Amino acid sequence: MAFVDDLGAALDKTPGGGIILTSLDAVMDWSRGKSLWMMPMGTACCAMELIAASFSRFDFDRHGSIPRPDPRHCDVMVVAGTITRKMAPAVQRLYDQMPDPKWVIAMGNCAVSGGIFYYDTYSVVRGVDEFLPVDVYLAGCPPRPESLQDAILRLREQVSTDSIAPGKSRKLTSPLPAPGSARRGEPPVGGGDAG
Amino acid sequence: MNINELREHLCSEYPDLCPLFSVEFGDGVLVVEAKRLHDAASDLRDLGFDRLGMVTAVDTGDEFELVYRLQSREMHAGIFVKARVPRDTASIASVTDLWPAANWQEREVYDLFGITFEGHPDLRRILLTDDWVGHPLRKDYEDDRIIRRPDYI
Amino acid sequence: MTEQTIVNIGPSHPSTHGVCRVVVTLDGEIVTHAEPIIGHLHRGIEKMAENRTYLQVVPLTDRLDYVGSMYANWAYCRAVERLAGIRVPERAEYIRVIVCELQRIASHMMGIGSTGADTGAFTAFMYAFAQRDHVVELFEALCGARLTYNYVRPGGVSMDLPEGWVEQCRAFTAQHPSAMLELDRLLFGNVIARARLKGVGVLSADDAVAWGASGPTARGSGVDWDLRRDDPYSVYPRFDFQVPLGENGDSYDRARIRLWECVESCKIIDQALDQLEPGLVKAEGLPRLLAPRPGDAYDHIESARGSLGVYLVSDGTPRPYRMKVRSPAFCNLALLPLLAEGHTLSDLVVILGSLDPVFGEVDR
């Protein structure tokens, strides 16, 4: 990808290069959006729906989203399930191993906010966005496979607005606090968990 | 041997404990002193309680109550063995030499309650990380990462 | 002996069936020691239960064994019913048996399927999962959820069977045994799968008992112990069914027993549907806020993984003072170091799969 990144930067500075860059962006976004390979970071219940989604009935492959267990093959990490304090460093490490550009889908309430495990527990990270930049939040406990398909399609829309020029592209990695140290504010009035 | 014969046997074996033996829901409950727990467990194993179902503890405030559930396939019966240990010197003999099943279960109790098991071959934390401070299932466990649930009732 | 190599597998690895980390010491390709490191999904459900009312704990039990949510629901509700002295209407007991046997099928399909995936027979996984989808659809019609049902409640079940559900269920049980025979030929008749499974991870009956193994893991070694028959609960004594037993205690027996259990489950469901009478599905006169007498209660049921027990201590308030889940997967997984020793690294994956752990339940 380094070559492509340099190309984008060079074209951006060239007079008239903007037109070529726009056409290149269109090609890149089209190809990226049509083959978002997933890193199935399934930890808990949502992992079952993630498996169901890629099997014969819901058939994710038709969207070009093939689950690959190796982070180095993947474009999008689907965090499906509760992330505990013990697990968070491993998730961070796997995310770091994925090549840029990379996206994160937080699947299920646990990955979005802690969900049912928001209150009273000592070991759960309240949402994967405490240490990863999340692109698509997917609510549900667990979400249906159809909603995961919708999330993938939404992500594809988002990918289609990206540019390969460094200045125009969204920030791919942001400096975030180490897992566990981040603190959310007080819980919303009324609470948000099932019960 | 059924649960009533077992009761008679235990009464003759542990005369001082007999009042503490009760049969609830078909399961016997035997309350022993902490220092006699290993002997009682060993006896029960010889009587046919060949399976150790679970080892757990309850924080009763000033002391811990250890709860062992044994099961006999022959008698089709279960028995609870309970022993109390003081909070400040929470320690009891391990039963891993009788049932290897106790290995992980005692590690879990050590992890979550901080009760040490003497004679355990490998007493380490099992569920939490090795550098965790405190034992979460104790009632006085404090952790500023916990957000208490608002009370609606 | 050559130099020892230490290989770390997991916690995110496709063949560890969840978030399990195994630190393997290898001599060449032979495993000399395998140590499972668990707790990556320890969510503190037992602590959370201490600050919720008895009814609010039910959704938490769903998330324990997420492949078989109905079991944890039921085991918990039985413990509460013991503690509070609630009598469950007969129709509710039948419905509970039906949904739990369906759940056994769904769970075993996952277990057998992943055994197939571990041995390279991915087609078998697809076939098994198609059967699981039928069950999940039945559950969705029943309570609206595909995975976390929150269906079995203290005193009964949350709602009655919807219209047409019984016929739908019968249609499923009618086709399921033949699908199982097909899967048996496809997976267990396959030369490669047999070679990968037979004689791998042999567990003796004595070890199974001493290590507290239960369910298909123990029965694969010939330990004839099934709570449905040997410590009968609910309406199970009214049904006629067999308990499949293995002979060799290897991965093949453990996996294949699950398949025959599904066929037996179909028999139980058919009998239960025949005996199902109209009536109440929830005990009458239950208080909105349960506050059982001070004391403790334990109850266990035969889940897809073994004897699943819930130990509850009440102090008379509307919240449990202590809840402990005796999880069968936790005890079964403790066998891994024993079973894996002396096998190759690729067999370790098969052995771990044959124990069928679910880490929500192992770590709680």
DSSP string, C118-146: HTT-HHHHHHHHHHHHHHHHHHHHHHS-S
Within-domain flag for C246: yes
Residues of A in contact with C56 (CB under 8 A): 195
Within-domain flag for C27: no
Within-domain flag for C33: no
Residue B23 pLDDT exceeds 60: no
Contacting residues for C362 by C-beta, under 8 A, at least 6 apart: C18, C20, C38, C41, C327, C329, C330, C333
Query: What are the Cα distances from residue B98, in Å, to B40, B82, C39, C287?
Result: 11, 17, 26, 44
Strand partners, C300: C309
User: Do A118 and B147 count as a contact with CB atoms less than 8 A apart?
Assistant: yes
| Average pLDDT value for residue range A2-14 | 67
Residue C52 pLDDT exceeds 80: yes
Which residue out of A51, A59, A77 would a mutagenesis test of the C interface target, given it has the greatest number of C Cβ atoms within 10 Å? A51
Smallest CA–CA distance from A180 into chain B, residue: B145
User: Do B129 and A85 count as a contact with CB atoms less than 8 A apart?
Assistant: yes
Within-domain flag for C130: yes
Give dist(CA B58, CA B61) in Å, integer. 9
pLDDT score at C83? 86
Within-domain flag for C196: yes
Question: Degrees (nearest 5) of the Cα angle A72, A179, B122?
Answer: 90
| Structural domains of chain A in order of their starting residue, each with its CATH number | 36-160 (3.40.50.12280)
Please tell me what DSSP assigns to residue A82.
Answer: -
Within-domain flag for C24: no
What's the whole-model pTM score? 0.87
Residue A178 pLDDT exceeds 80: no
For C324-351, the pLDDT digits (tens) are 999 999 989 998 898 888 888 888 888 9
* Domain of C60, in residue numbers: 44-332
B128 touches chain A (CB under 8 A): yes
Query: What are the Cα distances from residue B10, in Å, to B29, B71, B78, C33?
Result: 11, 16, 14, 41
> Please, are residues C15 and C349 in contact by the beta-carbon 8 Å criterion?
yes
Q: At C18, is the secondary structure helix, strand, or coil?
A: strand
Average pLDDT, chain C: 88
Residue A182 pLDDT exceeds 80: no
Give dist(CA B107, CA B121) in Å, integer. 10
Give dist(CA C280, CA C273) in Å, integer. 16
Secondary structure E strands in chain C: 4-9, 21-27, 30-37, 152-153, 156-157, 295-302, 307-314, 320-326
User: Do C297 and B128 count as a contact with CB atoms less than 8 A apart?
Assistant: no
CA–CA min distance C305, chain A (Å): 17
Strand partners, C22: C9, C36
Record the tokens describing residue A121, joined without a space. 């527990």
Give dist(CA C140, CA A46) in Å, integer. 16
Residues of C in contact with A82 (CB under 8 A): 41, 43
Q: What percent of chain C has pLDDT over 90?
A: 16
Average pLDDT, chain B: 81
Q: Of A86, A123, A191, which is closest to B149 when you measure between CB atoms? A: A191
For C133-163, the pLDDT digits (tens) are 899 989 999 888 888 888 998 888 888 888 8
Domain CATH code at residue C120: 1.10.645.10
Find the Cα–Cα–Cα–Cα dihedral C189, C220, C41, C323, rounded to 10°. 150
Other beta carbons within 10 Å of A72: 10
pLDDT score at B1? 59
Within-domain flag for C302: yes
Give dist(CA B75, CA B47) in Å, integer. 10
Residues of B in contact with C210 (CB under 8 A): 50, 99-101
pLDDT score at A179? 45
pLDDT grade, residue C94 (50/70/90)? very high
User: Which among B71, B80, B72 is positioned nearest to B37, based on CA atoms?
Assistant: B80
| Average pLDDT value for residue range C195-224 | 88
pLDDT grade, residue A163 (50/70/90)? low
Between B8 and A73, the more confident residue is A73
In Å, how far from its chain's centre is CA C102? 11
C67 touches chain A (CB under 8 A): yes
Residues of C in contact with B112 (CB under 8 A): 46
Within-domain flag for C272: yes
Record the tokens describing residue B47, joined without a space. 């009587």
| Average pLDDT value for residue range B41-60 | 86
> Please, are residues A106 and C108 in contact by the beta-carbon 8 Å criterion?
no
pLDDT score at A190? 38
User: Do A118 and B143 count as a contact with CB atoms less than 8 A apart?
Assistant: no
For C63-87, the pLDDT digits (tens) are 888 888 899 999 999 999 888 888 8
Tally of domains in chain C:
1
Residue A156 pLDDT exceeds 70: yes
Query: What are the Cα distances from residue A4, in Å, to A28, B11, C241?
Result: 10, 83, 65
> Please, are residues C281 and C153 in contact by the beta-carbon 8 Å criterion?
no
Give the max Cα distance, chain A.
Answer: 61
For B105-153, the pLDDT digits (tens) are 999 999 898 899 988 888 888 888 888 888 888 888 888 888 888 876 5
| Average pLDDT value for residue range C39-60 | 89
In which residue are the tokens 């609510």 written?
A: A139
Q: Of A44, A49, A56, which is closest to C126 when you measure between CB atoms? A: A56
> Please, are residues B77 and B6 in contact by the beta-carbon 8 Å criterion?
yes
Residues of C in contact with B50 (CB under 8 A): 209-210
What is the β-pairing status of strands A76-80 and A103-107?
Answer: parallel
Question: Degrees (nearest 5) of the Cα angle C314, C211, C355?
Answer: 95
C233 touches chain B (CB under 8 A): no
Dihedral sign for Cα atoms in the order C162, C108, C193, C245: negative
Q: At C257, is the secondary structure helix, strand, or coil?
A: helix
Question: Which amino acid belongs to residue A157?
Answer: E
Dihedral sign for Cα atoms in the order A173, A179, A184, A190: positive
